[in-house]
Structure 1
């Protein structure tokens, strides 16, 4: 049978009803990484808790070819450590392509503005299936103080213009 599951293949307990696996990779430490249309799933090999990270909550993903290291960071709160995950992968081409496509699909709008100390991005994100409210986030360059009243005013004005642009007022 062509579509049979391989013996010992790890199931993904965090898959939502109707969600199906599109790409998979197994990290050097045994963690199973799975991508679906709606989320990125981590299934630790050591019986740790499986995680489901919706694509609109993935801030960035990167690949270091020299070390075969895949890093994924989650959207975080200003002033708090951003959750980051790092894995050494043997063959991750399909997973990497799918991660790039899904994260990109979750971005509805991004506007950049320059402020004292660097830049701020106003970003609207939505689940790839598109049936949720827009999530609006600010992303500040290192050196930009989000508590600075001038920065706050500029960011708020940019957010208002962006919301007008997509009809989300």
Structure 2
């Protein structure tokens, strides 16, 4: 498959009008996982609703070569279970390369800071094509209590400093 051309062999109903499939893979269960410049698309084989996850909302994507399992977790809220999907894939090199490149391109800033009880990361994510304000996310270490007023104060200060550094203060 050539990058930049729409692949007519797969049907992805969540594509926006100008989106084009850059890479895709078909999972062992028949689900289609496709990547465009702007998002990861999943069309489940079981008839469930297809999903479109903008790259800036993909928290992590992991590949387990031993089991050929591709796992994707989405950005979520503290205390809530994060949406996660896993697929057993065959030939998927192009899709995996695209996912790595697009997720990396969405990160504007990522910084680990000390807070009471441990540490946290302040992360700014933006659509790889730009044009939108960054999405700011905190990731707390497991030992940190985000409800602690001291943690909230430290998080607010870290966010203000990060925004200032990227010119958004």
Q: How high is the TM-score relative to the length of structure 1?
A: 0.93
> Secondary structure of the residue that 1:15 maps to in structure 2?
coil
> Secondary structure of the residue that 2:56 maps to in structure 1?
helix
> Secondary structure of the residue that 1:18 maps to in structure 2?
coil
Does the C-alpha gap of structure 1 residues 144 and 5 become closer, same or farther in structure 2, counting only changes over 3 Å? Answer: closer
Find the counterpart in structure 2 of residue 29 from structure 1: 29
Q: CA deviation at 1:5?
A: 6.1
Mapped partners of 2:106, 2:6: distance in 1: 32
> Secondary structure of the residue that 1:10 maps to in structure 2?
coil
Q: How high is the TM-score relative to the length of structure 2?
A: 0.93
Moved over 4 A (4+): 2-6
CA RMSD of aligned residues (A): 1.7
Task: Give the gaps of 5 or more residues in structure 2.
Answer: none
> Secondary structure of the residue that 1:21 maps to in structure 2?
coil
Find the counterpart in structure 1 of residue 48 from structure 2: 48
> Secondary structure of the residue that 2:103 maps to in structure 1?
helix
Q: CA deviation at 1:31?
A: 0.4
Alignment of 1:1-169 (within 5 A): 9-169=9-169
Mapped partners of 1:114, 1:30: distance in 2: 44
Mapped partners of 1:143, 1:78: distance in 2: 13
Mapped partners of 1:63, 1:48: distance in 2: 24
Mapped partners of 2:91, 2:70: distance in 1: 11
How many residues are aligned here?
166
Mapped partners of 2:16, 2:6: distance in 1: 21
Question: Could you give the per-residue CA deviations for residues 136-165 of structure 1, whole angstroms, max 9, x where no partner exists?
Answer: 110111121111122111111110000111
Mapped partners of 2:139, 2:146: distance in 1: 10
Task: Give the gaps of 5 or more residues in structure 1.
Answer: none
Q: CA contact under 8 A between 2:119 and 2:140: conserved in structure 1?
A: yes
